Chains A and B, each alone.
Chain A
Amino acid sequence: MMALAVTLALALVAAAIALSFWRLLIGPSAPDRILALDTLYINTIALLILLGLRLNSNLYFEAALLIAVIGFVGTLALCKYLLRGDIIE
């Protein structure tokens, strides 16, 4: 029962990633694309957690944490660049 739920959930998250990628491609403005990247990394964290549940492994949380940290810093840097024209003033 849980295997079926995890498979269904993996399909749903994959569809979510496809939708975010669609927004990343069509834009139309730069903040739209940053928002799409932000959503993409959160979706990737969900995918990694589901993979850990499916393979019954604890290893994937470190990867999820790394993606969370680096994705946040990336979003912050891109927003800062658009806001101020510079990242570290």
Chain B
Amino acid sequence: MLEALLSLLILAGALFTFIGSLGLARLPDFFTRLHAPTKATTLGVGSLLIASAIHFSTQGEGLSLHEVLVTLFLFITAPVSGHLLGKTGLHLRLPRLGKQADGGLPPGLPPG
């Protein structure tokens, strides 16, 4: 039962990490690329750390709190670096996609 829960958390975490990097590699402009990894990887590493904390806490050596430190640090710093990267992109006036009349993405996007 516990093992199934841990496996589920580990797979979900790895999948979110992968999706974040896939977005980074595939999305069309800098601001959409900024969106993908800052959220997906935080969620992915978060669930991996929860899985790790449960695993090492049930080994019979008491509560394992190393993971909480890493989680806390990542959850505090990820928005700060995301904000600074967005500010840098705005400051350098990077090209961005305009909004279409139907609210979708423009046709004929260059791949990646």
Contact = CB atoms under 8 A, between A and B. Distances in A.
Interface of A: 1-2, 4-6, 8-10, 12-13, 15-17, 19-20, 22-23, 26, 29-32, 34-36, 38-39, 42-43, 45-46, 49-50, 52-53, 58, 61-62, 64-65, 68-69, 72, 75-76, 79-80, 82-83
A29 B107 CA distance: 22
B111 to A, nearest CB: 11
B24 A20 contact: yes
Interface in B39-69: 41-42, 44-45, 48-49, 51-52, 55-56, 64, 66-67, 69
Nearest to B44: A46
Closest 7 CB pairs of A and B: A9-B14, A5-B7, A16-B21, A61-B66, A12-B14, A19-B21, A79-B84
Contact of B92 (A4, A5, A31): A31
B14 A52 contact: no
Given A2-B3, A2-B7, A15-B18, A52 B88 contact: no
A34 B69 contact: no
Nearest to A26: B112
B92 A82 contact: yes
B26 to A, nearest CB: 8
B17 A82 contact: no
Interface residues of B, number: 51
A55 to B, nearest CB: 12
A83 B21 contact: no
A35 B36 CA distance: 10
Contact of A16 (B3, B18, B30, B85): B18
